[in-house]
Structures are given as C-alpha cells and as structure tokens.
Structure 1
C-alpha cells in the first residue's frame, strides 16, 4: 500500500460456500436493535454504518447546521484517547451512544450528548504485530447489527461485543494462522453477515473477502482475489480464468490483492462491490517471471452475490499494477443521469488518478477522467474499455531505468473517504500530490521480514541540501477536490500545503466538512468551496467526520490524531509534521468548549558520534535501509512524529547494542522485532553506518 523512498522530485471460494452457506441455511437476520431495514434506510438522525448508508455516500440529510450558521459551530465536548497513534475511524451513533474504534483496534462507547464514557474494550493486540502492518496501527471503524458491535483487530481477529456493555460475545481469527496479514478496515453488515478482508499486499499474502454469521461468527464464504497454486486445483471458474493472467510461480509469493478497506452493498442490484490492492511483489519481473500478465483480480473492483460470494463481474483499473495503485478506496453507488438516461452506477477515485463511473449491474465502463493534474504513468484511458494507455517509461522493470511516477504510491486518492452530495451532484475527494521514485532491483531475493517489493528505492532519497529539500517539500501537497462525475471535470478545488488530509462529509446544509493534516477542522460551501468555518485541532486530522441528531439538535463528530502512512514513511522531510494528540471532538451550534493548551514538545538536537565505516558499507546500508527500514523510520533516516528517529538513537554509537535491537529483537515488545532472518550481522552493521552518516550530514545542515 504505501510507498517508500520518496522521489527527489518530490476451501474458500468464489462460487463457493466453503462453510456450506446457501440461501436456505443462511444467517439469521436481526429483528431488534440495528436491523437491515435501518441500515438500508440510512436514517439521518443516526449514523449506523461506516459510510453513513449502504451506498457509502457519506451524505447527511441533516441541515440544522448550514452554510448560513456554521460560523456559530463550537466544541460541545471532547474525549482524550489512550493511544498516541494515527486515528482513522469514523464514529457510529445509535440510540444516543457514540461508538468509536481507535488505534490498536480498541473500542469506546460514549454518551453522544455529554461525552460520558460508558465502556471501553482493548483486544490487546501484540505490539510486535506492527512490523507486519503497512501504515501505522490504525483502525477505521466498527459495525453495528442487532444488539452487537463488531470490530476487526490489527492482528486479524473479528470480535463481536455487546453494544450495552462492551463484553465479548465471540472472537474469531479470520486471517491464516501465522500469516503476515493484518486488518485496519471497518467491517460491513449485509443480510445478517459481517464482511471483512485484510491488509498485507506488501508481504506474501493472498487477498480475499470473507463473510461471517453475525450471530455466531461462523464463516459462510470466502472469495479469493488471486488464484492459488494450480497444482492444487482452483476453487472455481473465476480463479481458473484469473490464473491465465499470471505467469511463473506467482502463488509462492501470495499474489497480493488484499481487501483492506472498501466494501459496499447495493440493495438495488443486490451485489457486494469491493476493491482490491496491488499485486505482490510490486515489481512484475519477480511476479510474472514467464511473461507479462494483468494479474487479476488485483487493482480491481469486484462484484459478488451476497448469499454465496459468487463472482458476478470485475473491472480492473490498473492491469499488471507495478506502482502500488490499490483500488481499495471507497466505492460509492448512486443514480446518475447520463446522456439523458438514468443509470445505476458505481463511482470510484482510486490511487491511479482517474475517476471511474461503471454500470453497477454489469461493471461496464462508462467514463474515466483525471481528478488530479500531472498524471504521467498513463496518457489516458481507452474510451470504450477504460484500459489505461501506459507510458512505456513507467515500466521500470522493462527499461531498467528509474521512473518518477505521478501519482506515487500514496496515491492521488488513498483510503481517506470521499463523499457525494445528491444535492450538488459533486463528489468531494481528498487528493494527494506525492511523486514516487520506482526502480527495479534485478538482484532482489524474497525475504521473511518487512516489505517484499522487488525494488531498490534508495535512488529516491533526499539529498543533504537545504534548498533542494525545501523545493521537494513545496512540491508535496494535497487538495480538496469537488468533482462532477457526469461532466468528468473538477468543479472547484481547495489547495492544501500537505498531503494525506482527512476524509470528507457532505450535508444537506450545503456544507462539506474536512480536517487537515496541519491541524484544522473546516467547513466549506458544497456548491462553491468557500471556506466558512475553522477550528484548531492541535493535531493532524486523518479521519472522516460524521453527523447525527438527538432531540432535534445536530452534532458533528470527528476523530483527530496525526499518524498513518505519511508520518511513518515520509516523516519530517515529507512536507511538515504535526504532533499526535489523539481525541474525539464533537461540535454543535452555540457550544463554547475549548481544548486545553497544547504541551510544548522539546526540540531534539542532533549530536551523533563521528561517522565510521567504508564507502561500500554506507552504500549497502543505504540500499537496505531505504528498502526496509524507511517503511517505519522515514525516508533518508528522518522519522515522523510516531516512530523513533534513528539519527537520535542512543544505540547509534554502540555496535553491540544496535545488533541486540535489530538482529536479536531486544525491543520486540515495543514493535521492533528481530531482523535476523532478513539481514546478516554485517548488513545490520552497514545500516548503522549509513544512519550514522545521515545523522552527521543533517547535523551539518543545522549549523
């Protein structure tokens, strides 16, 4: 999912019911509490599912708070959270209770009027799991059904809790035992089933979407997104067809295609749509070793039947993906009038920078237009098929040359949810401008720890030059984009100084709400993009807001707390940094609440030992660090706000202690697991020598 080495420019089956599910013996539907009818209705007073309704529009009909009075919005209450990692969840509200998940998959329930804590649950995820997680220990939300709440944990479990008490009803491991998969996404409820996939397409994993009985946790079906070992036979016809788009022994490396976020149910077509991640490894030279292939069903939208998980259609947005252009971004369903006819459509803004409109029943391509500027990996899309016209220079494994891609692996749009307003007909997309350096590594060998990409991204490191770094930072930014899906054009745009800003919420009050990575929660007019209101959050905002009403009074809630992909991989060099202050903020008209003063963060002064080692060690260390360590500790050894900055490490001048930490896993309980199966002691020493060199270079820049 996540890019590293930032550019110097900046039997479980598809038709298959592995557990014997059928329409006759399917799950029991809830008749009390949160029911299917309530989820389908999308009652504006409550927010019952991740995207607000089945269609994942993130649009609220509430309009007490409007463009005429949003300036009177104030803080009603706030709650500090007990985890200092990135916060990405959308709260849910039912029966006067606000439910959230936080980093490390913890869950809390609050009185939605007053903020009084009702209960809290900690699944006790092992901190060592962090090495198998792409982008921080985040969680995007919970699901409600009947009298239960469901949360998917970072270590791969699906847990059902009692809504009233937070007590565990059942707890089921959903990922293969011992795998490098994780779960960061929010479960979805469809017809008495809990749907969840997993993350992990930078590791050797095989993606899937699975359905579990909401009452018992029994697995009902599992749709794999990539084919497995042909010698063992295929689960179904769809996997057999997909295998023809792969070559070599791809299954030994898993294939990727994980379903780590987007899951949408459309009651009108009675189909489940979900997005899939990149193929694994990223570099096709180490995946399709006998020739080119599209690598289905990676980087695609797939539609299946809810009763059985049976394949219906797919649309691959980025065939043979080599740039980490996941299609896991939110999938929104609506009715649009196109060429004078009303059509049921799927709308999607994936990482690759093109906005897709597809027929919801068939997956047929209707249109695809850029929603960001500067796309250079493809010149456009075929107007009939929607297949990208790939720039030959973008195939770095063919040219043997570096390619600086726009967008990069962070994506023109990543997981941060977009919203759609039926009132304005516009889609509100948090966009990123983060170029990426790609270079194939012909000498790459599969390992066992950390990312397995088949790349050498060390050429994308930031130089030790103030002017160049300043120019790079200026070129890394984002925007809030209002996109017209019928006209295929950007209606308005609000430039932002940093990428990876928060998700959006659209309301009938002609408003769009969004938080920013630089610490503001803002409201804009939905029709023109005029900024009307702003609140200083003291920390970056990644999550999407939601809104609800109690006793006729409308509230807006958002989780704040900096972290995620941009902090852990790009760090301070990636265009700025904000502290992590994790909180739940709730607003209403006329409220006068305020946040406590922000505690100052002491500045760290670089004072490393003198550089040592040979040029050969430094070069080796730079390659190893860039391709593995930068995933958590930042490009060019400059970290963000969450993970340790190794330039300041007390182990940097102590060879033996460095080996104990990196080779032996002395700090495994803190998330720094042993790398002895990936690197030799000599290689680990080379990494230390490189970080030591970087620390001294940056110390010189501070003078």
Structure 2
C-alpha cells in the first residue's frame, strides 16, 4: 500500500502541469440608479442598477444584531446553491441548480410555487450543465431567468407559469449562460459564456420584459473584416485585431456583470477573456483586441456604443472584467462625481468617470505581479518585464492566477461609510508557453498552466474594506479557505458575508469588528440580501457550495467540509426569529473497499490526463478533490464497479441528477479515469489510516 501511495503522489506532482490545466477551460453618497426599486424590495442581483449590493434598511444594526435569529428555513436538494435570491411583493424567489425556481412567503417560508426549466432534460452537452444559475430578476410581477442551455424565460410572479420564452442561442453553439439576468428600464439584459473553449463572438442581448421581443444585441468582438463594419463599435474594434485572426480568435463573453444609470441612460457591460488565451495565436499581428477584458458603456435604449475602458490590453491570462461594476457618487478633488468602480480579476481597483469612461485612478488591492502600476495619464497598465509567457521556455510564477484576485462573487458598497467591501482571493499560478503533449488538453488555448499550485502566501482569502476616494485599505479580515462569499452592506452599518466554514458573519461596517455569526452545516458562498415586509427587516441567504470554488479551484478549501451531501438551505433571519435548523450529523468520508485494485502507473497517468481532457475536474475538482459542486469521487462506491461507472460517465445514466454524459470518451478513457480515481481513493484511505495512528 505505501509503495502504491508513493507512486500516486509522484504522479500527482510530476504530472500536475498536464492534469491541472483544462480550464475548458470595487464622504460619499449613493445614486438612485433605478427609482422604481421599492426601498423594502430586492428585485435584481445587486438590488438596483447601481449594483451596490446595499440595503437602505435600518432596523437591524450593530446595536441589536445580537438579537438576530433564524426566522424560517427551507431545505434544498443537492446541487449548485450559490445564487443570490431576490425579494418583491412580500415573496422571496430563489433559483438553484439548473434553473429550478421557487417562490416563498417572505415572512414564514411557505412554498408558494416552483418551476423547473427542465435544463437537465434539454441540455445536450456538459457546457449547458456547468455551474448552474447564479441569480434571477424581478420586474412588474414577473420573474426572469436565463437558463444555461440558452433560453430566457419570464414567469408569472404569482403562479410561476411561463409567460414568454426566447432562445438566446442554439443548443449546437458552444455557449452557455449561467450569470444572472438584469431588468433595467423594462428590458431584460442577458449575456453568455463559452470563450474558454471556442473563438465565439461574444454578445449581450436586451429583450422587452413584457413581450420577450429582441430589442437590441451588442457584439463585443468584431465580425469578418472582409465585410463592411456594422456600426461605430465595430469601427473601433477592428483595428485592434491584426493578422489572420478571423475564425481563429474571438471571445469577449459578457456572462455576469451589468450596471445601469437611468440619469445617464447608460448600460455598462463587463467583458471577459479571449480565445485562445495565447495572444499571438489569437491575433498574430498583435493589437489590444477590443473589447476583450473591457468595460463598455452603451445606450440603454438602443445598445449603441458610448465609451470603453480596457483593464488588460492584449489580454492572455484569462484576465476578465466580468466582475460587478459599482456605480456611486464620490468626492473627487473636492467635487461630487458619478463614478464606476470595479475590482476585476487583475488585482487593481479602478475608479472611472461613469459618463465618459475617463480614467480617474487605480491601485493594487491584492498581490499582482503582472503589472507594476496603471499609468495615470494613459490609463494603461505598465506591465512588468517578461510577463508575457511566450517570452519564457518554462513555467513561471504569476499573480493573480486565472481565478483572479476577485472573482464573480460580488463586492458591496456603503454610501454611509464610503467603503467598498471586496471578497479578495490571494492565489498565484504557474504559467508558461505551450508544452509538447499538452496542447491536446488545453483545447488550443496555447498556454500551459497550473492554476492552483502550492505557493507561499497562496490559497488565501480576505474581506477587504477599500476606500475608493483614497485608494487605500480601511480594514482587512482574513477568511478561511480561498473562496470567499459574496457581500451585503446595509444602512444599519453592517456587512454580511458567508464563509467556506459554514459561518454567516456580520461585521461592523466602519471597523470590521465581528458582531454576529450563525453556524450552518454547509459552506456559504452565495450573497445575502436584505428586504422588508410590513416594516420588518429580513436577511436571506442560500447555503451550500458550487461554482469554481466548489470544483476546479477547490483544493484550497480541502480542510473544510464542503461535502456534496451536506444539507443546503434557504435561511431567513429577523430580529426575534424563533426557528431552528434540525440537528445534523456529519456523514463520514470513507473511500470504498477495493481489494482487487492493482496499481498501474501508466494507466493512472492516462486516467489523470483523461480526467482533465474530458473536463471532469471542472465540477469534481483538481486531482478529484471535491469542493461540494459535485460528489467527491474518491469516496464514491461507483468507482469500484466498471459497468456502473461506464453507464454514468459515458452513457449519462445520472444526467437527470446533473451528471452529463461524456459521449466522446472512449471505453479506454473511461476505464483509465476509473483507475485514476481508484488510485486516489487508495491514497486517501492510506492517509486516513496514518492520521488515525
């Protein structure tokens, strides 16, 4: 046994570059950005168009938060539970997994209706079933959802019955849609993903919220250069793509972040990475490749281009600007100024003029080695020497890695303190040029990467209070693990955030002092919201794991129980609540008995590579270390039964449970993956035996 464990360990470390890669891969006052938002409601992902994730309610404060108790709960099924709920009409609406929508009485948790969008039945690829929904939206007695398989639906908020449905993209396209839709000024705004695996042409679509009719569509990368430019935006983009790029390069998916200023009539779009990651492959003649990794402002009524700002020119590190964009009014040089604030992946906190996009300031809020600073005159980064991986022969250390210094989990802003509260990730990566034998795994991305290596100071996270006027930290709280939850700020001078260790915590917004906590059996990744019904203030959050931190980037959270089997809940709190969660005993994690296993180094190596190639690690974790997005396969009894394993992995026997089939995997691939998992299970069992001594 010890020899087998040693061999597995050698494989894991020596083969990490190949196995690890397949990524398939924020004195002030807030704006009234959307006057139609009722003070007590929370109808959009960030509450209103400002995306401040700020509640103006004041019943719950630092002085009485110690009286905050559970008011009601609802137990959810296993699956992705990282979405932000919404609240309106005295109801709470949630989405889980693959677009399963529920409506509850906000005061007592009574289930009023539920609707299943049948994504698991309709989806035709793993892409359509990755991650699940991150949020929904409400407007005018309607609930809106964008399904991962490409549909946009409006449901009656009182009954859950569908009112209209539009298909954003065809099932045959290499796109998915898991970000929350927004409803601004009677329009449903949706984007999509897919730029990690294909040179698609990204776009954002606006639908009429009442009828579902398409109002406009804005493309984020240019079309065929042999054809006339479609509009002003394309005239600006085209010169920044050079050489023989069309059909080989693309991307620019805007799958998450949208903000809206009604006074300026501007919609702000956060744009993602390019494909391939390798800039020289994507655009052989060079160029900035607009609008990749950019913030773009368009006219909300028409989708016409107004301005842009690019955070990573010629991006090639999965550098995205899809993180939330906070709108507010700050005092700049002694004068009030409407600004847009973003803490994107690259580790710099940006303040831009909201009307013009003019650069105001940017400073590092996390460790960032890719650039020294942002030039105050040009607004462009001053890159550090030899940070482009094409200039290297081997892997080198870079911060932040592809997970970013801030991921999609939202920051919050308090107009009372003037601080932006950022869930920060401190994690580096090892990155380098394409390596022989690795390109097949990276789907043509043109880079070799270990996105989650063991580096000094890495695999950490924090809640950072940032003063955007001074570009300095106000306070900083070290958090458990490396996947921090989304943040809520309130006018009661509180900041709420969930943690990977199952704690929902409230901090004093001014000082960062912890003033309240509630322990749950499961991690909390989702963002809390606060709303009121009949004058009573509530706080609601979903518990459970999911998304990248529950899958491919789960290694740094291995010390915490993020088990897929842990209970997941909708939890709602109020002053004087009287509900209680039922007692729960942690199920033991024991690898299955496998006395017939015979270690084969070559087969294990092949299995590890196939595990990456077929994107198993996206949900089941790097080196099969599960993070709660899907079962931890080291403990699955399925891996000791060849027929059952093949039926699940290749034939889709558990598709309706959320496990998509892998029809392109050969029988040899499937058996190699099973061998790899059996070896990891043996290693885990041996380590458990050592720990018990």
Q: Cα deviation per residue 1:24-70 (whole Å; 9 max; x = unaligned)?
A: xxxxxxxxxxxxx9942543222222212221112222111111111
Measure the CA separation in 1 of the matches of 2:88 and 2:267.
Answer: 24
* 1:34-53 superposed matches below 5 A: 39-53=34-48
Deviations 1:387-412 (A, max 9, x none): 22223343223313213322122211
TM-score, normalization: structure 2?
Answer: 0.87
Residue in structure 2 matched with residue 282 of structure 1 by the alignment: 277
Is residue 581 of structure 2 the alignment partner of residue 588 of structure 1? no
Aligned counterparts, 1:94-133, within 5 A: 94-126=88-120, 131-132=126-127
Instruction: Name structure 2 gaps, 5 residues minimum.
Output: 1-16, 22-31
Decide whether aligned partners of structure 1 residues 633 and 49 sit closer, same or farther in structure 2, where only a CA change above 3 A counts: closer
Deviation at 1:496, TM superposition (A): 0.5
2:250 match: secondary structure: coil
* 2:24 alignment partner in structure 1: none
Counterpart secondary structure, 1:286: helix
Q: Does 1:454 align with 2:458?
A: no
Q: In 2, are the aligned partners of 1:571 and 1:577 still within 8 Å (CA)?
A: no
Distance 1:654 1:505, change over 3 A: closer
Task: Tell me which residue corresponds to 1:367.
Answer: 361
Instruction: Tell me, yes or no, if the aligned pair for 1:5 and 1:437 is still in contact at 8 Å.
Output: no
Deviation at 1:574, TM superposition (A): 4.1
Q: 1:604, 1:231 → 2: CA distance?
A: 60
Match of 2:411 in 1: 418
| Distance of 1:690 and 1:440 partners within structure 2 | 27
Partner residue in 2 for 1:395: 388
- 1:298 maps onto 2:292 in alignment: yes
Distance change >3 Å, CA 573–CA 589, structure 1 → 2: closer
Q: How does 1:51-200 map to 2 (within 5 A)?
A: 51-81=46-76, 83-126=77-120, 131-132=126-127, 136-137=131-132, 139-200=133-194
Q: Secondary structure at the match of 1:243?
A: helix
- What's the secondary structure of 1:394's corresponding residue? coil
Deviations 1:676-697 (A, max 9, x none): 54x6665565555544544444
**Per-residue deviation, residues 476-515 of structure 1 (Å, max 9, x unmatched):** 1211100000100110011002122221111111111111
Aligned partner of 1:352 among 330, 336, 346: 346
Aligned partners of 1:135 and 1:568 also within 8 Å:
no
Q: Is residue 440 of structure 1 aligned with residue 433 of structure 2?
A: yes
1:336 is aligned to: 330
Give 2:397's aligned residue. 404
Q: Find the partner of 1:207 among 189, 202, 214.
A: 202
The 8 Å contact of residues 276 and 298 in structure 1, kept in 2 or not, is answered as yes
For residue 25 of structure 2, what is the aligned residue in structure 1?
Answer: none
Gaps of 5+ in 1: 8-36, 463-468
Question: Which residue is 2:687 aligned to?
Answer: 701
Distance 1:411 1:658 in 2: 34
The count of residues paired between Structure 1 and Structure 2 equals 656
1:557 maps to which residue? 540
**Shift in Å, 1:664:** 5.7
Relative to structure 1, is the Cα distance of residues 165 and 672 closer, same or farther in structure 2, using a 3 angstrom cutoff?
closer
Alignment of 1:211-222 (within 5 A): 211-222=206-217
Instruction: Name the CA shift for 1:572/1:401 in 2 (closer, same or farther; >3 Å).
Output: closer
Whole-angstrom distance in 1 between the partners of 2:34 and 2:387: 43
Structure 2 counterpart of 1:578, from 562, 580, 590: 562
SS class of match (2:391): helix
Shift of 1:214: 1.3
Give 1:355 deviation, angstroms. Answer: 0.5
Say whether 1:263 aligns with 2:237.
no
Contact kept in structure 2, 1:570 and 1:639, CA below 8 Å: no
- Cα pair distance change 1:499/1:693, threshold 3 Å: same
Does residue 598 of structure 1 match 2:584?
Answer: yes
The separation in 2 between residues aligned to 1:548 and 1:657, in whole angstroms, is 47
2:469 maps to 1:482: no
> C-alpha displacement at 1:640, in angstroms?
2.6
Separation (CA, whole Å) in 2 of partners of 1:4 and 1:309: 42
* CA–CA separation in structure 1 for the residues paired with 2:208 and 2:136: 16
Q: Does 1:547 align with 2:530?
A: yes
* Cα deviations by residue, 1:420-450 (Å, 9 ceiling, x for unpaired): 1111110011111222232332557988x99
How far apart are the structure 2 equivalents of 1:426 and 1:435? 26
Does the aligned pair in 2 maintain the 1:4–1:635 contact within 8 Å?
no
For residue 523 of structure 1, report the CA deviation from its aligned partner. Answer: 0.8
Instruction: Write the mapping of 1:5-24 to structure 2, written as runs, cut at 5 A.
Output: none
Distance in 2 of aligned mates of 1:42 and 1:667:
42
The alpha-carbon distance between structure 1 residues 146 and 261, as it changes in their structure 2 partners (threshold 3 A), is same
- Answer whether contact 2:279 2:314 (CA < 8 A) is retained: yes
Q: Distance in 2 between matches of 1:552 and 1:461?
A: 47
Counterpart-to-counterpart distance in 2, 1:353 and 1:152: 29
Relative to structure 1, the CA distance from residue 656 to residue 126 in structure 2 (aligned partners, 3 Å threshold; closer, same or farther) is closer
Q: Which is further off, 564-573 or 619-628?
A: 619-628
Q: Counterpart of 2:490?
A: 507
Q: Quote the RMSD (CA, aligned, Å).
A: 2.9
Would you say the 8 A contact 1:134–1:631 is kept in 2?
Answer: no
State the partner residue of 1:33: none
Does the CA contact (< 8 Å) of 2:90 and 2:105 recur in 1?
yes
Q: How many angstroms does 1:699 deviate by?
A: 4.1
| 173-182 or 299-308, which deviates more | 173-182
1:554 CA drift (Å): 1.3
Distance in 2 between residues matched to 1:647 and 1:461, nearest whole Å = 19
- Which whole-Å CA distance do the structure 2 matches of 1:692 and 1:350 have between them? 39
The change in CA–CA distance for 1:269 and 1:4 in structure 2 (over 3 A counts) is: farther
Q: Deviations over 1:130-152 (max 9, x none)?
A: 72159522x22222222322111
